[in-house]
Structure formats: structure tokens, C-alpha cells
Amino acid sequence: MHSVDYVTVDVFTAERFAGNQLAVIPDARGLSDQQMQAIATEFGYSEVTFVLPPEDPTNTARVRIFTPTTEIPFAGHPNVGTAFVLGWQAEIFGSAPGDHLRFEERAGLVEVALSRADGAVTSARIVAPRPLSIGPMIDVETIAACAMVPPDAVRTDNHFPVRVSVGLPFAVAELKDVAALSAARPNVTAFEAANKRYKPDEDSFSLFLYARSTENPWRLRARMFAPLDNVIEDPATGSASAALSAYLVSLLPEDTIDVDLTIEQGVEMGRRSIIEVSVSKYGGVVGRTSIAGACVIAMRGSISL
């Protein structure tokens, strides 16, 4: 019976069984699209990655990312976790892993930098593959219905709810405080209605909610709901964190600025995650957006096919 090896890793945490779960298939050669989707569905994690030899030998690998329901062009924690796993290997398709990796993905090339302590990989930082895109605006009533919160819990003084992306689109909205954020619950029927009205070209309607204080505006609490992808709630969403952070920096009056943000997610799920985001803005345009986080390996095994 044919089998493939897998590694599971907890991403955006230094504590095992916290953060966001990811399954990585370090050598997915020979797997069909249907098998990849079936494996992702079987794990039931928000994403599973499949690593293949690069089409361009100057790159490290080609990485395909599947949710339980579909393949997506980019995601944050799958890239961070996949880089962490590959960094622990003796070789990647015949080449020794260095501290800088480059992944070919549907959204474009993803640059990765590994961090090590005493020679062991501890974390990874990735650069978003696409520039910030903004729009459309989303009405407050849709956000409130999807999150099952009153409309006055949605703040609009800083920005209106809007779809943003640096590789994968999310609706983002600010809530008035952490209490309102913690009270949010996804309403699948409302998500289905929102998807009919606001469906992105890639993936389905997903909602990233956040709250922050005036005392520390660059430390955010967040939650992400994607029930149409069979992800009721995600404990850490790097692609959404990057897109939101880039958008918030784009709203600043400064033409040139570098901002570091910390986003805490997964608290309500008992899987606390810490996502570090850095955004650079030059000449009024948001440029490089990167996300970083620690990882720990949880399990290893093989899948029978």
C-alpha cells in the first residue's frame, strides 16, 4: 500500500497544542489533486500544505495549499509552518535548506526567512506575495448579521468594513471592544447571504474581526470566521493579519513610515496565537508587508493511500 509522510506543526506559538494547527506533506510527488483535497478534508485543519519540486530550480519548492473544501492561492500560517518544517529537514529535493527559502504559489512567489537558536529553526517570517488591494466596502448590517452582534458594535470611525487582500481576500471590520469581539458567533445563513452579495473571485466570504485600545493601537485582538470553507473559526490567520495591517497603515497620514504590529488571535478557542506583522509605507504607498511567528512540531506520521 502506498503512503506519504506528514508532519503537523502548531504555528504562531512556542507552546505545543496552542496556535494554529497545520499538516505539511513534505514530499507530495505522485499525489493527484483529488488526493490532496481528500487529505485536507480528512485532517479538518484550516489548511494543509503539499510540497512539490519547484518549476524554477532557483526557487526552493512549489507549495499548494488546501482548505477542507478547496485549494487557495495563499495563506499565512501555512507558509510559516511549511517553512519551519522544511527548515528542519536535511534537504529539500536534493538541496540543503538555508535560512532563506522561496515558495512558488498560485498567488506568486513567497519569500521566507528562517530564524534559528543554537542551530535549530524556531520561527519564520514571510513576505506577502501581492500588493495591498482594497474594496469593496461592506455594509455594517452584513457584518453584524454574520458575527451575530448588534450593528452598533461595529466601529466605523476609523474605517468602514471592507474587503482587503495581500494574496487572499477577507472582509475586515473593527468592533468597539474586546468584549464585543469575544461575544461574536458566526451565523452560517448570514455568511451564505454575504457570499452571494460580496463573493470574492478567490475563495468564499470570510470575516476577520478585530478590536484595539487607544493605549496600544498596534496590539490587536482578532478572530476569523470562514464557515463556508468548513472553518467555523481559525485560531491564527496570517494572510488576514497581513492584509488588515497593510490596510491600517495605508490609512495613516504619513507618506513614509514603518509600523510593527502584534495580533493576538485564538484566545476564545483556547489556542492563543501571536502574529507579528511589519508594514513599510513609502511615498504614500504600502510596500513590503511581512508576518512572522514561532512554531513547534506536534506530530509525525504517514497517510495510507
Residues serving a catalytic function are 47
Residue 215 CB burial class (10 angstroms; 0-12, 13-18, ≥19): exposed
In angstroms, the CA 248 to CA 279 distance is 10
Q: Kindly write down the DSSP assignment for every residue of 110-178, as one continuous string.
A: EEEEEEEETTEEEEEEEE-SS--EEEEE--HHHHHHHHT--GGGEE-SS---EEEESSS-EEEEEESSH
Q: Which residues contact 137 (CB under 8 A, 6 or more apart)?
A: 160, 161, 162
Asked if 146 contacts 135 with a C-beta cutoff of 8 angstroms, the reply is no
- Cα 181 from Cα 191, distance rounded (Å): 17
Cβ neighbours for 96, distance < 8 A, ≥ 6 positions apart: 90
Question: Coil, strand or helix: which one is 10?
Answer: strand
What are the beta bridge partners of residue 198?
A: none
